[in-house]
Structure 1
């Protein structure tokens, strides 16, 4: 089978190589999946660089989120067991962790439903306790993690303010449902949030970026607000000013979704049922910006790492899936045709 392999750490487009390898053999409690679609996530780039919290042994195949097919024909969502990641024709997953792929989503949409939307749901509902009528500020609102948080915030009845960088990303954030979009390249984020909220600020700040984004969020969080730290896509881990949190009465909550899979797998399954319901109702729909063949996976990972993409990029080891008609496919485009 074909699989992308990383034999040394570095930038994705330098260290990922498409190779012919043997199919992986399932261990105890594992299942072999045929990969129908694999979503590109920022952690894939961190894995290539050797900067992720999990460091699989070299060589390994990246790809942490797939829609796959079991040997008995079930269509499932899974997080592959590294080092056998999802950018391959076949992958391995823990049988206990398989989730049914929603019928309302095509393979691309199903592959993109897990990491970003589960992270968003746990961040907003378990960690921040977002309530209807509150204001949610989402950094990197045009990206995969950000767009999921935007849609989940709207589904929860919040007013959502999205922060992006540039006109194209601002347009994508509006399409995801933001009530207000702030282009940080052209506008003062803190002043605009304060003006939009009558001086109160945002009740919840969702931050997958870190660095300057965290600093801006802390400056415009409301009294008794909550900042949810999801990741550090900027590459800079901020040092929170705890005296500032004290005098402004706000909370800082960390969110590592993978820990729920270890500590509370039942909560992950409950979340998936809720996400499936929301998808069936049309309240959430992963924005698939590009569908690419397996041979272009390294380029896709590199572009996500560079922050130049919007929505989700999805890799297809087989024929590239044509978008379904309807909400899931809106805004989707396929590179180099619908099939290869």
Structure 2
């Protein structure tokens, strides 16, 4: 079969690759779409905290068909392999793709929406009238965060890095601003932040009393230390969420959250935003689009 391989020199190449070995508790999926995530960028650049052994087929999130024709979306967490024509997926992380959904939408859904849904429903309490800021709001996770917060009844502001992305956020029903305007806004109850760096550290000062900033990414640079005295003095909190490790520690919570999200998607309350699609042979261009923060919505590969 054909797969995109990250070799020992971190070059991406479409090549012939052995068929996946399907172990106990796994199923063979014919991949129709594979989600491109920022973690894939970090792996390629050698900056991922738990790097895989190279050579390696990237891709942890897929949508496709089982041998019996069942349409599914799935994680391929144990060994990667999503950027390929076929992949082995753990059965505990297989879910039915809604009838109305495309495969590209399926590959754009789980990781983005779980990364927003679990923090906003388990770590903090977002309810009707809450005021929520989502950074990197035009991207895959950001657009999910805007939708989730709105579905929970919040007043939502989405922040982006350029004016060209403002309309993406507005189409999701949220107020949209660029990062340089955040300091002029009224404080928030919750800030869901993917940018990191100085923006994350400064977000503490943009919280209402009892508010929380939740760090879920650092696309704009490593997180800066936050003085606990500042948190105590302002009666605010700093939290963090990393889906990959949480799936290992609390798989039951993640599966329950996935079920909740799929019900809301089927009901029309939520929907993934697919911003761009690429064939497998253009995986390098797809990753560059994400790495350079030029993408909107989720970027998806189509084998």
TM-score of the pair, normalised by structure 1? 0.85
1:4 pairs with 2:4: yes
The corresponding residue for 1:292 is 278
1:227 pairs with 2:202: no
The corresponding residue for 1:76 is 72
SS in 2 for 1:160: strand
The corresponding residue for 1:325 is none
> Is the deviation greater in 76-85 or in 59-68?
76-85
Decide which of 43, 49, 57 is 1:47's aligned counterpart.
Answer: 43
Decide which of 30, 35, 56 is 2:26's aligned counterpart.
Answer: 30
The corresponding residue for 2:237 is 251
Question: C-alpha displacement at 1:9, in angstroms?
Answer: 5.4
Decide which of 269, 290, 293 is 1:283's aligned counterpart.
Answer: 269
Question: C-alpha displacement at 1:82, in angstroms?
Answer: 5.0
Q: Indicate if the aligned counterparts of 1:205 and 1:227 stay in contact, CA closer than 8 A.
A: yes
1:144 pairs with 2:144: no
Q: Indicate if the aligned counterparts of 2:97 and 2:106 stay in contact, CA closer than 8 A.
A: yes
SS in 2 for 1:217: helix
The corresponding residue for 1:269 is 255
Q: Indicate if the aligned counterparts of 2:197 and 2:224 stay in contact, CA closer than 8 A.
A: yes
Residues 22-81 of structure 1 show CA distances to partners (whole Å, capped at 9, x for unaligned) of: 211112322221101111111110111222233111100111111121122221111114
The corresponding residue for 1:176 is 172
Q: Distance in 1 between matches of 2:97 and 2:246?
A: 20
Compared CA separation, residues 82 and 302, structure 1 to 2 (3 A): farther
Compared CA separation, residues 82 and 260, structure 1 to 2 (3 A): closer
1:162 pairs with 2:153: no
Question: C-alpha displacement at 1:225, in angstroms?
Answer: 0.1
SS in 2 for 1:5: strand
Q: Distance in 2 between matches of 1:112 and 1:202?
A: 28
Decide which of 293, 299, 303 is 1:307's aligned counterpart.
Answer: 293
The corresponding residue for 1:198 is none
TM-score of the pair, normalised by structure 2? 0.95
Matched residue count: 303
Q: Distance in 2 between matches of 1:281 and 1:168?
A: 31
SS in 1 for 2:278: strand
The corresponding residue for 2:202 is 216
Instruction: Note the aligned Cα RMSD (angstroms).
Output: 1.5
Q: Distance in 2 between matches of 1:84 and 1:158?
A: 36
Q: Indicate if the aligned counterparts of 1:56 and 1:82 stay in contact, CA closer than 8 A.
A: no
Residues 64-103 of structure 1 show CA distances to partners (whole Å, capped at 9, x for unaligned) of: 1111211222211111145442111011211222122122
Instruction: Provide runs of 4+ in structure 1 moved above 3 Å.
Output: 81-84
1:85-96, aligned counterparts within 5 Å? 85-96=81-92
Question: C-alpha displacement at 1:235, in angstroms?
Answer: 2.8
Q: Distance in 1 between matches of 2:221 and 2:271?
A: 28
Q: Distance in 2 between matches of 1:126 and 1:88?
A: 34
Gaps of 5+ in 2: none
Q: Indicate if the aligned counterparts of 1:139 and 1:206 stay in contact, CA closer than 8 A.
A: yes
Q: Indicate if the aligned counterparts of 1:290 and 1:314 stay in contact, CA closer than 8 A.
A: yes
1:242 pairs with 2:228: yes
